[in-house]
Amino acid sequence: MIDAIPCHEARRLLESGGQLIDVRGPGEYAAGALRGAQNMPVEAFPSHVHRLDPARPVLLYCKSGARSGAAKGFLQQLGFRAVYNIGAYQAWRECAETG
pLDDT of 47-70, one tens digit each? 999 999 999 999 999 999 999 999
Backbone angles phi, psi at 20, to 5 degrees: -100, 120
**Would you place residue 99 in the very low, low, confident or very high pLDDT band (cuts 50, 70, 90)?**
low
Whether 71 maps to a domain, the answer reads yes
Whether 50 maps to a domain, the answer reads yes
Rounded to two decimals, the pTM is: 0.92
Residues belonging to the active site: 62
Domain that holds residue 28: 7-97
- The pLDDT score that the predictor gives to residue 98 is 66
Helix ranges, the chain (H): 7-15, 26-31, 45-48, 66-77, 89-97
The domain total for the chain is 1
Q: In what order do the strands lie in the sheet with 83-88?
A: 38-39, 19-22, 58-62, 83-88
Whether 2 maps to a domain, the answer reads no
Instruction: Give the domain CATH number at 91.
Output: 3.40.250.10
